[in-house]
A and B are shown apart, each in its own frame.
Chain A
Amino acid sequence: MEFKFNEENQNKLNTIISHYPVKKAAVMGALWLAQEQSGWISGEVMKEVANQLEMTLEEVLGVVTFYTMYNQKPMGKFHLQVCTNVSCMLRGGALIFDHIKLKLGIDDMHVTDDKMFSLEEVECMGSCGTAPMIAINEDYFENLNISEVDNILESLKNKN
């Protein structure tokens, strides 16, 4: 399916391009906008970004695969990012990750069948002082324990 930026995002992209002396520098911003619009970075997205920023498709692909936050496949409606790095690990982050894995029955970087949840083991999110934490889409949930994680998951399920 062909990808085009909607009008609002096209305007945002034009503003981002104007921040830099060369168009190519706007690639990260363009990919963020595309991901907000369509949820993930497909081949069509990369083609469109390459076209607009006068880059080769390979250059865009290189950027997409270098960073961990650009989804290279569709993720769940609620993308759960669980930190298991040292500070979180010391306070039970790894247990939370295993708990969610069992509870949702999915592995790292997998999506539930109903497309509601996806799970990712992430590196330090800068929440060490409020560990353990998970991020759901763009929001941080900090100072957690297993029962609070359960509550969060339940409320997300009910929200649907």
Chain B
Amino acid sequence: MEKIILPDIKDLHLIDIYIQHGGFAAAKKAFTKTTDDIIDEVKKSGLRGRGGAAFLAGLKWSFMPKSTDKPKYLCINGDESEPGSFKDRQIFEYNPHQLIEGILITAYAIQAKIVYIYIRGEYHKWIKLMQKALDDAYARGFIGEKMKETFGTDFSCEVYIHKGAGAYICGEESSLMNSLEGQRGYPRVKPPFPAQNGLWGNPTTINNVETITNVPPIINKGWEWFSKIGEPRHPGTLLFGVSGHVNKPGVYELPTGTLLTDIIYKYAGGVPGDKKILCVIPGGSSMPPLRGDQLEGVKMDAESLKNAGSAIGTGGVIVMDEDTDLVKVLARIAHFYHHESCGQCTPCREGTGWLEKILKRLVKGEGSSSDLDLLISVATNIEGNTICALGEAAAWPVRFMVTRFRDYFEERVSKEVSLSVKNKVHSMRNTSIPLAPVTR
């Protein structure tokens, strides 16, 4: 199996080794083509975004207005904060120059003169590694004014790293732009979309790190080659990050459409102690979880997972064995989204808090069966009623976990209804007869 993003080449992060293996040839080739040709090539290749929404990259680029005097921007999204997702840091560490080359080609295709790579603040080490790669590329004349001479083109661009500071929401593209502009990272109402009204009101394209790293091979080998890898409707390879209860957790680059069971058992070495799988979240913590008995035959690509009742997300596979306390897991996920809600929209700000509170009650064994319906009701009231997708991200795990594991959750529910407010009327009568517990 050919690896596109993380090939097995020693020291590929060094610019000399990267050039030895044909590095920057794709950029050179791209600069001889028209921008339309490149967008067309990527469109035909079927490359879809790797950041979660799996939107067609070429189509996204084509939204950038052609005739405008405004400056255009390209943002590379390396915020990578989805629990279960840890793929972009592999690219920063092992193949940063392919990312840089992809950036050059993309910037040329959309005619962006300034590129920002937004990297989460926790990644101090990977920011330094990426900065080193950028410095090397600048020194060789691959970026900046000098690239005109190096590549014999009249296009040039500058690439800067913007360091985040710990906010999951900044991985949402409009929030990322606000964060970059020096404001609080609040998501913006869409439309207008970034291609019309992005950074400082100018046309902007935002792509995921992994998406852009796919671009140089596509230009090198052509769209037909790429479109034949993996599932035709979602071609290419994906960096699957496998974590949780597996023997060999880590990042595996595999073609789309690889069986989920193959990823868990063949590549990640199966479950420790040969335990059964209770639950798998296939695409990062915000995606609908699958039951252990739903995994057979599930392929890992956007369309197949949609049919299986989940979504590909960022390809972060979280495996939980039969001894996992799902109520605790869900409470922890709910805590995360409550913590990360930016607080702009009431349904999300309040709803995520309620989800967490109810689930913590369940963890303590004080919840009732009606709490499970309440959870679904709160989730329903968040979904679709918020500016950005964090609402869905918070609601989906709760909705699908509770529906798909209803029997499991029912077992954990207290049979006694605990009244959080003491029955005041009764106590005022000062009776000596205690209230009988209400049972169901």
Contacts and interface: CB of A to CB of B under 8 A. Distances in A.
Interface of A: 19-22, 24-29, 31-32, 53, 55, 59, 62-63, 66-70, 84-87, 89-91, 122-131, 135, 138-140
Nearest to A32: B163
B336 A67 contact: no
Contacts of A122: 122, 166
Contacts of B320: 90
**Residue from B89, B122, B320 having most chain A Cβ neighbours under 10 A:** B122
B165 interface: yes
Contact of A66 (B84, B124, B167, B251): B167
B332 A125 contact: no
A111 B300 CA distance: 45
Contacts of A67: 121, 164-167, 185
Contacts of A87: 83-84, 243-244, 249, 318
Interface in B209-263: 241-245, 249-251
A26 B316 CA distance: 32
A28 B167 CA distance: 12
Contacts of B245: 90-91
B266 to A, nearest CB: 17
Contacts of B62: none
Contact of B166 (A25, A69, A138, A140): A69
A28 B179 contact: yes
A25 B118 CA distance: 13
Contacts of B125: 138-140
**Considering the complex of A and B, which 9 residue pairs feature the smallest CB-CB distances, nearest first?**
A128-B243, A67-B165, A69-B166, A68-B166, A24-B182, A124-B83, A138-B124, A87-B243, A27-B182
A126 B336 contact: no
B329 to A, nearest CB: 6
Given A87-B244, A90-B318, A128-B316, A123 B84 contact: no
Interface string B247-289: 0011100000000000000000000000000000100010000
B399 interface: no
Contact of A31 (B165, B249, B281): B165
A126 B179 contact: no
Contacts of B121: 32, 67, 69
A28 B332 CA distance: 29
Contact of B80 (A29, A69, A126): A126
B181 A126 contact: no
A29 B84 contact: no
A70 B165 contact: yes
**Residue from A66, A91, A125 having most chain B Cβ neighbours under 10 A:** A66
**Residue from B86, B88, B336 having most chain A Cβ neighbours under 10 A:** B86
Given A24-B183, A67-B165, A129-B86, 18 more contacts: A19-B116, A28-B163, A28-B165, A29-B162, A59-B182, A69-B121, A86-B285, A87-B244, A124-B83, A126-B81, A126-B86, A126-B122, A128-B86, A128-B316, A129-B242, A129-B243, A129-B249, A140-B125
B178 to A, nearest CB: 10
**Residue from A24, A31, A63, A123 having most chain B Cβ neighbours under 10 A:** A123
A123 B163 contact: no
A25 B336 contact: no
Nearest to B126: A126
A110 B158 CA distance: 42
B164 A22 contact: no
B324 A90 contact: yes
B185 A66 contact: yes
Given A90-B244, A90-B324, A126-B81, A55 B182 contact: yes
B168 interface: yes
B165 A123 contact: no
A62 B167 CA distance: 13
Contacts of B179: 28
A66 to B, nearest CB: 4
Contacts of A68: 165-167
**Residue from B125, B180, B183, B336 having most chain A Cβ neighbours under 10 A:** B183
B188 interface: no
Given A32-B163, A53-B182, A63-B184, A123 B124 contact: no
Contacts of B146: none
B415 interface: no
Contacts of A125: 122
Contacts of B181: 22, 24-25
B241 A129 contact: yes
B298 to A, nearest CB: 20
A31 B162 CA distance: 12
Contacts of A19: 116, 158, 160
B41 interface: no
A36 B167 CA distance: 19
A32 B241 CA distance: 30
A129 B163 contact: no
7 contacts: A22-B181, A22-B200, A63-B184, A68-B166, A86-B84, A122-B122, A135-B122
